[in-house]
Amino acid sequence: MRIICLVAVGVPLSGCAGLQFNPGPAPDALTYNEPIPYFQVTRNGDCTVTGSVVSLPGYERSVAFRNGYGSADLSVNLQNGMIQSVNQKTDSKIPETLTAISSLAGVATKGLKAADAGKPSCDTSAKLYPIRDGKPDIKHPISLSTL
């Protein structure tokens, strides 16, 4: 009798509406790019250094809307091919983390300004540092062309 009750309850619940995320492109699904965070450091001609966190598109993924028992209000918002929110805004701790990482630019800026204090002008440059485990990977920078 217990098995019949579990099947009677489990089968209808297994057909609930929702989102199904796939590791790659899938037919009849919305394709998006997984965001990859980078810390961008830019030095201008007047020797000022700025830092900011940017997200660039990564691997293709997909999300499918599943129909099922009951009703659902599902939505996925994209920006630049990357998911910004799924049925609600992103976790509020993400902006706090990005702000904390961006504040590292202030510390880096002080050191670079002191080193360039005697120069009237600086060569412009920009580098991207991949963010791994919540920290910029300073051993593997990507140099961008001169601004």
pLDDT digits (tens, 9 = 90+) for 88-122: 433 445 556 656 666 665 655 555 555 545 555 88
2 CA to centre of own chain:
46
Confidence check: pLDDT of 6 > 50: no
What b/e readout covers 84-105, taking b as 16+ CB neighbours within 10 angstroms? Answer: eeeeeeeeeeeeeebeebeeeb
What percent of the chain has pLDDT above 90? 29
Q: What is the pTM of this model?
A: 0.55
Q: What does the pLDDT read at residue 102? A: 64
The whole-chain average pLDDT of the chain stands at 74
